[in-house]
Structure 1
Amino acid sequence: LGTAQDAGYPQIHCQKECCAKVLSGEENPEWVSCLALVDPGKKKYWLFDATPSIVEQTGYVQKLIPGISLAGIFLTHAHIGHYTGLMMLGREAWGAGEVPVYVMPRMRTFLESNGPWGQLVSLNNIQIRDLQNEEEILLPNDVSVTPFLVPHRDEYSETVGFQIKGPGQTALFIPDIDKWEKWDKDIQEEVAEVDIAFLDATFYANGEIPGRDMSEIPHPFVEETMKLFEGTGSESKIHFIHLNHTNPLLWSVHTKVELEAKGFEVARTGQQFPF
C-alpha cells in the first residue's frame, strides 16, 4: 500500500529534482510503506504500520473489497511513518471502536504514556494487544504473524520486523533496520526460508544526502543489499520498500531497470501476493 520512507514522496520542503518531478506531474506521488493482509472471504484486513498515508491506504482497500473491515494493526516501531496514522482512529476523525493494535512492550508504554495516543486507549478507539519477540500470533485461515527484533534507532520503542505466514506463502517485512551486519541473524538465511522479502531500501547509496553524515541515520544501502544477495538465487524474492525521496529508484528509470536486470524488484503500490 506504499513504498516511500516515513515522510512520503514528495517530501516536505524538498525543492530538488527528485520531488520537483512529482510537483510538475512527471512522476506520481507515493504513499508511505505499508502492507495490508487481506482475507477477502471474511472481509477483514490487517495493516502493517499505521502511516501518514492511512486515509488513502484504507480507502484503497475498501474500494478493492467493498464492506471490508479493519481487523487490526501491527506496528513496527515509534518513528513517524509507522504509527502516526493512528491519529485518524480518534474521535476527531473516524472515532473507531476497539481496533486491535499489536505492539511490543516499549511501544505499548510509549502509546499509553504520551498524548494524543493515550487518549485513543482511554476512549477505546484502539485496544492494545501485546507482542513478544519471536512469539507467533495466530490469525484466521491458518495465517500467523511473528515479530522479531531488529537493530534500529530505538529512541522511543524497540523496532521489529514481521514474518507473515499463510497456507501457501511466507513473507518477511523489514521496513527499517540499521545495517544487516548489526543484526544477530543472517539476512541471507532469513530470506532463503521465505517466498517474499520486503526489505529496507531507504537509501540507494552512500552520499545520497549531501551535507549529512549518513552514519547518523544508518540503513542498508540498496547497493549493499544487492551485493549481498547477487548469486544466491534469492534475488527475485526481494522487493525493496521504504524509499527515501532521494532514492533514484523512485524517479530514475535507468536505475530501476539496472536493478531489475539483476533479478531484484521494487515493490509497487497495489501489488498483490496470494498467501
Structure 2
Amino acid sequence: MTWPPGFRLVHRMKTHILALGALTLTAAPAPAQSEAVIESCSVELIVLGVGQDGGAPQLGNSADLAWEDPSLRRLATSIAVVDRTAGARYLFEATPDIREQLYRLDQAMPTTAPPGLDAIFLTHGHIGHYTGLMFLGHESMGARDVPVYAMPSMSAFLFSNGPWDQLVRYDNIELEALHAGQPVELGDVRVTAFEVPHRQEYTEVVGYHIAGPTRSAIFLPDIDSWEEWETWDDGLAMRIEDLIATVDVAYVDATFYANGEIPGRDMSGFPHPFIAHSMERFADLAESERAKVRFIHFNHTNPVRYPDAPERDVVTEAGFNLADEGERVCLAD
C-alpha cells in the first residue's frame, strides 16, 4: 500500500465537543453485568486485561506473589467490543498478552476465522499498547488485512519502522486513518478518539469514546494528569468530569494508587494521576457520576490489584469501582 506523506494532525478541541456531545446519554451508569444477563446483549464491552504495560507479575520482580499464585496475575490493559448482530469483534490495544486475550474473547464470542478482528484501535506507541501486533505477522498467525486504526503519528511509526512495517508490507495489517474528534462508524458501534497529554516520545496519545446503541463508555488507560489536560494548549483542553458526564461507564488511568508505593522513590512527578488524587478530585461529583468510574491500568506495585487489599475497600466505599478482567458491560438494551 502507499501511504500519504506528512501525517500532520490539525484540529481543535471544539471538534471533540461537537462529536462527543452528540453522543451524550442520560441513562444511569451501566454496571458490570453477569454472564446470564449478557447473553441477550447485542453489543457489549468485555475487559480483557487491567494491568500496566508489563502486566503482573512483572519481569525482574521475583518476589511477586503472582509467580506462585496464578489468580493474582494480571494481563496488560485491553478491552473488546463485540456486536453480536453484525458478528463483529473490535479490539482496543494490541498488548503483549494478545494471545491469551484473544482466547478469552473467543470464549465470549467464538470466531470461525481467527483472529476474527474487524478492527484494532491503538491508543499510542508504548509497549503495552501495540507490540501484540507482532503476533499477527508471518512468524506467528500470518493474519491477513486486519484493520488497525491509529492516529497519524502512530500510523507513520508503524509504516516506517521495522519490524512493524513488515506487517504492512506483507498485508498482515491494514492501517486505517484515525483522527481525533472524527467518529468511526462500525454499524451499531461508534468510536471517537480524543487526544490527551502523555509522554509522546514516538506518537500522540488518545483515549476513546465508545458508543453502542443505547449506552457508551470511555477508555482512557494513560494520561499525565487531569490538571494538565484541562490547561492543555492548542485548543485540546478538556475536563475529565465533563467527559465522564457524556457516558455511562468510564475506564480511566489508575496506574498508581498513591505516592510511596515504590520504595525509595519520590513519585510526585510521575506521569499518571494517582487513584488517591483522582478520588479526591472526583469526591464532589454526584454519586451516580462517581459510580461510572472504573479504574484500570494497574502497575504491578499498585495494591488494588490484590483482591484482599484494604485500598480496594477505600475505593469502593468512596463510590468508585475497579475494573476486573472478564467483566462485561452491555452497551445495548
From 168, 186, 208, the equivalent of 2:261 is: 208
Letter aligned with residue 44 of structure 1: A
The corresponding residue for 2:33 is none
The corresponding residue for 1:152 is 198
Whole-angstrom CA distance in 1 between matches of 2:136 and 2:62: 32
Whole-angstrom CA distance in 1 between matches of 2:213 and 2:329: 13
Whole-angstrom CA distance in 1 between matches of 2:156 and 2:70: 43
Compute the TM-score of the two structures, normalised by the length of structure 2: 0.79
The alignment status of 1:122 with 2:169, answered yes or no, reads yes
**Contact kept in structure 2, 1:168 and 1:274, CA below 8 Å:** no
Letter aligned with residue 102 of structure 2: T
The corresponding residue for 1:249 is 304
The alignment status of 1:266 with 2:266, answered yes or no, reads no
- By how many angstroms is 1:213 displaced? 4.6
The corresponding residue for 1:232 is 285
Deviations 1:118-153, CA, capped at 9 Å, x for gaps = 000000000000111111110112x21000100000
Whole-angstrom CA distance in 1 between matches of 2:264 and 2:165: 37
Compute the TM-score of the two structures, normalised by the length of structure 1: 0.95
From 213, 226, 230, the equivalent of 1:167 is: 213
The corresponding residue for 1:67 is 111
1:8-87 alignment to 2 at 5 Å?
8-16=55-63, 19=64, 21-25=65-69, 27-67=71-111, 69-87=116-134
Whole-angstrom CA distance in 2 between matches of 1:216 and 1:108: 29
- By how many angstroms is 1:39 displaced? 1.0
- SS of 1:154's partner is coil
The alignment status of 1:133 with 2:177, answered yes or no, reads no
Whole-angstrom CA distance in 2 between matches of 1:33 and 1:8: 8
Deviations 1:56-85, CA, capped at 9 Å, x for gaps = 111111122222621110000000000000
Whole-angstrom CA distance in 2 between matches of 1:195 and 1:159: 23
Whole-angstrom CA distance in 2 between matches of 1:110 and 1:45: 25
Letter aligned with residue 239 of structure 1: R
**Contact kept in structure 1, 2:259 and 2:268, CA below 8 Å:** no
Whole-angstrom CA distance in 2 between matches of 1:171 and 1:102: 18
**Contact kept in structure 1, 2:86 and 2:187, CA below 8 Å:** no
Whole-angstrom CA distance in 1 between matches of 2:242 and 2:67: 41
Letter aligned with residue 144 of structure 1: R
- SS of 1:100's partner is strand
- SS of 2:149's partner is strand
Whole-angstrom CA distance in 1 between matches of 2:218 and 2:227: 17
Q: Which has the larger radius of gyration?
A: 2
Aligned residues, how many?
271
- SS of 1:249's partner is helix
Report the more deviating stretch, 25-34 or 119-128. 25-34
- By how many angstroms is 1:235 displaced? 1.0
The alignment status of 1:197 with 2:253, answered yes or no, reads no
Whole-angstrom CA distance in 2 between matches of 1:225 and 1:216: 15
Give RMSD over aligned pairs: 1.3
**Contact kept in structure 2, 1:2 and 1:35, CA below 8 Å:** yes
Letter aligned with residue 274 of structure 2: F
